[in-house]
Amino acid sequence: MNAPLLQVRDLCVEYDTPAGPAKAVDHVSFDLHAGEFLAVVGESGCGKSTMLFSIAQLLTAPAKTVGGEVLFDGANLAELSAEELRRVRWRDLSVVMQSAMNALNPTLSIGAQLADTCRAHTDWDEAKIAARSAEVLSMVSIDPTHLASFPFQLSGGMRQRAMIAMALLLEPKLVIMDEPTSALDVVAQRSLMRQVENLRRELGFAVLFVTHDMSVVSHFSDRLAVMYAGQVVEMGSTRDVFDRPRHPYAHGLLEAFPSLVGDPRPLVGIPGNPPSLVTPPVGCRFADRCEHATDECRTVAPTLELIDGHAVRCHLVAKGVLQ
């Protein structure tokens, strides 16, 4: 297999808080290959969006990357100058934010915003800019007449699709998506995800996608990483994780949303709250919420172990007690 497009190694991010540094992302590592779709799921506050912002070099104070490296297409993104990063963004790597209304400029038409991006990153003439802008809007099923529309004139779903059009404008190798469907209803969510998937297959870009809702990515991602309290607790092929989650937290997450197949079953929440990230537990971070927790769980931190092709951070799974 070719070298990964993105290599994240031991990434650590902290937030400065009055109580001390909060370890929001704790030694996260993974690879993403060209054209692959990796979804990162977990509850709000588990560090998934912070991790994306760190990878895209978009973190701002009080958050800061305090360890690890992000290699993209062979370059360490943290070592690039502001100018080099500017060249990489949009052209090689683009980011779709959670709320298009916040990411789009409300005072400029969609066409003007697409044209601005083209002018900043290419030497295209106005005819080529107009043609490409119309092309990318059509790709996301928005009529090119909307090049003249302002963001407030589009529905929520159309605004998110316009953001995706902007992200694809310069044919990047990687599109990073931070909960782009969270403000949409279920029908619009599904339609947007299907569109992203079709475009990915057609254009071959890789996707790194974070969401708190596992059902959003169940049919679209190749691999799934489950994050809890700043750490990856399980990672494997999406099908495998859905069919046979090993980590008790991944199990709980799957039981917390309705299944699209089989008989209806009651939804079960995960009792309790995540631990403090300023003073995380010395043992397993999930121990206070885990029905299987042992003394070892509370005193020894489990490491991420490869078990049947799945990476799992759990003492009892590693010992074969939980399967």
Q: Which two tokens stand for residue 311?
A: 């990476």
Residue 275 found at the interface with ligand SF4 (CB under 6 A): no
- Smallest separation (angstroms) from ligand SF4 to the CB of 20: 24
On whether the CB atoms of residues 196 and 207 are closer than 8 A, the answer is yes
How big is the site for ligand SF4, counted in residues (CB under 6 A)? 13
- Among residues 56, 286, 304, 310, which is the contact residue for ligand SF4, using CB under 6 A? 286
Nearer Cβ to ligand SF4, position 235 or 290?
Answer: 290
- Smallest separation (angstroms) from ligand SF4 to the CB of 297: 3
Q: Where are the alpha helices (DSSP H) in 45-142?
A: 48-55, 82-88, 100-103, 110-121, 126-139
- Smallest separation (angstroms) from ligand SF4 to the CB of 279: 18
As beta bridge partners, residue 210 has 40, 178
- Smallest separation (angstroms) from ligand SF4 to the CB of 313: 7
Phi/psi region, residue 179 (left: phi>0; alpha: psi -120 to 50; beta: rest), is left
- Among residues 245, 248, 252, 274, which is the contact residue for ligand SF4, using CB under 6 A? 248
Cα separation values, 88 from 5, 57, 77, 276, 308, Å = 13, 11, 9, 36, 37
Residue 209 found at the interface with ligand SF4 (CB under 6 A): no
Tell me the window of 125-133, 163-171, 192-200, 314-322 that interacts with ligand SF4 (CB under 6 A): 314-322
Nearer Cβ to ligand SF4, position 142 or 297?
Answer: 297
Instruction: Identify which of 32, 36, 14 has the alpha carbon closest to the alpha carbon of residue 23.
Output: 14
On whether the CB atoms of residues 223 and 236 are closer than 8 A, the answer is yes
- 130 vs 128: CA distance, rounded Å: 5
Residue 226 found at the interface with ligand SF4 (CB under 6 A): no
- 180 vs 189: CA distance, rounded Å: 9
Q: What angle do CA 232, 233, 234 make, to 5 degrees?
A: 100
Nearer Cβ to ligand SF4, position 212 or 292?
Answer: 292
- Smallest separation (angstroms) from ligand SF4 to the CB of 247: 6
- Among residues 232, 287, 304, 311, which is the contact residue for ligand SF4, using CB under 6 A? 287
Q: Which two tokens stand for residue 11?
A: 């990434």
Nearer Cβ to ligand SF4, position 123 or 291?
Answer: 291
Q: Which residue has the tokens 């919420």?
A: 289
Tell me the window of 128-136, 198-206, 260-268, 312-320 that interacts with ligand SF4 (CB under 6 A): 312-320
Residue 42 found at the interface with ligand SF4 (CB under 6 A): no
Q: At what angle do helices 156-168 and 186-203 cross, to 10 degrees?
A: 10
Q: At what angle do helices 110-121 and 156-168 cross, to 10 degrees?
A: 20
Q: Which two tokens stand for residue 254?
A: 């799957």
Residue 315 found at the interface with ligand SF4 (CB under 6 A): yes
Residue 48 found at the interface with ligand SF4 (CB under 6 A): no
Binding site for ligand SF4 (CB under 6 A): 247-248, 284, 286-287, 290, 292-293, 297, 302, 314-316
